Amino acid sequence: MNDLESALVNFMTSFEMVFDEDWEYTMLTMGMEDSLSDYVIADFYTKGGTFLNPKVPDESNNWFHRGWLLAAHRKLIHEMEKSGYDLNIFNEDE
């Protein structure tokens, strides 16, 4: 398996864990449950942060699979760029 294939498999496995296996917890940590306080949200996202770029010191804090997913996503993007894939295919300006 080459680096790109390995990165793709790792990403898809991570994606599955966060958005299928951990779905209830994912919804909870994304603020889709009423029981979350602002303090808990700050552990997962800071102002201006997103799911893929949460801007927190520990991306895996209490949510191990997200850290794995984010690392796999970044590795996949790197390998795609290295392999010459155009990652701006949805940019209407080009």
* 38-50 per-position pLDDT tens digit: 555 666 777 777 7
CA–CA gap between residue 83 and residue 77 (Å, rounded): 10
Tokens of 61: 């804090």
CB atoms closer than 10 angstroms to residue 12:
12
* pTM: predicted TM-score of the whole model, two decimal places: 0.64
Mean pLDDT score, 54-67: 80
CA–CA gap between residue 76 and residue 53 (Å, rounded): 15
CA–CA gap between residue 90 and residue 92 (Å, rounded): 6
Mean pLDDT score, 5-19: 86
C-alpha dist (Å) from residue 57 to 12, 50, 76, 77: 24, 14, 22, 21
The predicted pLDDT at position 94 comes to 46
The predicted pLDDT at position 64 comes to 77
